[in-house]
């Protein structure tokens, strides 16, 4: 279960309120790369963890930490919306500083719905969506989902860092960026501890690989039509990362035939014309389009 104190994990200082930046910070709260997502993702992975308890406990530690990050960012939003600043007033066309802020590009629901506070939504006001809480039951799949979340999350934090000149906001972000540095490597360290590529690929490694169609397991399929070149890379030749195959490149061709569905069943209520035998199709001659631009 969970506990709290009344302090922030790291100081949140707003030198000059910026309603526009308050909008941008929402992406770090409720966006797909944001803190609600990683908080719930790590906690759900922990709640459903099977196997060694150490990973469950580690996920709980970091999931709990992330809840404090939501708090920091929500506090930063609220402070950035406080209307007393001279800077905001200067750009105001009218007496009401809230209205001026909205005219200046702020997220309208931070005022209209929240009375100048943070929302559980992203920078466009799109509500947080729980389908981004990845917890697959496979620890390596989950660790890669976590790395992806922290990699896009750190990119987001760096971009936010670039958008503000205020030292208080920069200071908060350099803390959050540093934590993302750790978290990326924390999840990758689990994979290393579990044996790295050779021990873990393909994921899940508990599926009997002899059941898959090994003939295409290490092939790069080139879907470009004739004349479209395919660049060479680590994935086009040489041993596969799992040590179990050899990469090669093959032109993508159909192994299958044309799909044939049955005529519609009466209960499906297609049009009657769909239920009759196919008329003799006549194919047409196709012109090649040339240089037709006027």
C-beta of 42: minimal distance to a second copy in Å? 11
229 is in an annotated binding site: no
Q: Smallest gap, in angstroms, from Cβ of residue 166 to a second copy? A: 12
Whether 262 contacts 274, CB under 8 Å: no
Residues 223-252, mask of contacts with a second copy (x by CB under 8 A): xxx-xxxxxxxxxxx--xxx----xxxxxx
Phi, psi of 221 (to 5 degrees): -95, 125
Size of the site for a second copy (CB under 8 A): 213
Separation of CA 178 from chain center? 19
Touching a second copy, residues 104-163 (CB under 8 A): 105, 107-109, 111-141, 144-145, 147-148, 150-152, 154-156, 158-163
- Return the axis-axis angle of helices 53-80 and 35-47, rounded to nearest 10°: 160
Residues 11 to 40 in contact with a second copy, rule: CB under 8 A:
11-12, 20, 23-24, 27, 30-33, 36, 40
* Residue 80 CB neighbour total at 10 angstroms: 30
Binding to a second copy by residue 220, rule CB under 8 A?
yes
End-to-end CA distance of the chain: 70
**Would you call 258 helix, strand, or coil by DSSP?**
coil
Q: At its nearest, how many Å lie between a second copy and the CB of residue 142? A: 8
54 forms part of the interface with a second copy (CB under 8 A): yes
Q: Which of residues 171-210 bind a second copy (CB under 8 A)?
A: 174-175, 177-182, 184-186, 188-190, 192-195, 197, 199-207, 209
> Known binder of ligand: residue 183?
yes
CA distances from 41 to 69, 74, 169, 279 (A): 14, 19, 26, 54
Phi/psi of residue 169, nearest 5 degrees: -65, -40
């Amino acid at each position: 279960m969970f506990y709290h104190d009344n302090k922030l994990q790291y100081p949140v200082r707003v030198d000059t309120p910026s309603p526009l930046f308050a909008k941008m910070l929402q992406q770090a709260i409720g966006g797909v790369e944001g803190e609600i997502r990683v908080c719930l993702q790590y906690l759900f992975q922990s709640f459903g963890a099977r196997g060694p308890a150490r990973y469950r406990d580690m996920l709980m530690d970091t999931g709990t930490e992330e809840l404090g990050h939501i708090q920091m960012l929500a506090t930063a939003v609220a402070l950035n919306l406080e209307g007393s600043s001279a800077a905001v007033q200067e750009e105001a066309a009218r007496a009401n500083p809230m209205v001026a802020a909205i005219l200046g590009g702020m997220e309208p629901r931070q005022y209209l719905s929240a009375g100048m506070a943070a929302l559980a939504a992203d920078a466009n006001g799109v509500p947080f969506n729980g389908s981004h809480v990845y917890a697959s039951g496979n620890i390596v799949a989950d660790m890669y989902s976590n790395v992806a979340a922290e990699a896009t999350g750190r990119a987001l934090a760096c971009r936010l860092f670039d958008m503000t000149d205020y030292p208080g906001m920069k200071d908060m972000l350099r803390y959050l960026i540093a934590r993302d540095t750790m978290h990326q490597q924390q999840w990758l360290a689990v994979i290393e501890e579990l044996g790295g590529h050779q021990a873990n690929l393909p994921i899940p490694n508990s599926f009997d690989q002899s059941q898959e169609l090994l003939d295409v397991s290490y092939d790069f399929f080139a879907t470009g039509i004739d004349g479209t070149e395919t660049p060479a890379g680590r994935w086009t030749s040489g041993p596969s990362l799992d040590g179990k195959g050899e990469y090669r490149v093959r032109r993508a061709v159909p192994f299958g035939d044309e799909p044939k569905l049955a005529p519609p069943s009466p209960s499906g209520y297609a049009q009657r014309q769909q239920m009759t035998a196919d008329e003799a199709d006549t194919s047409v001659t196709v012109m090649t389009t040339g240089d037709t631009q006027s």
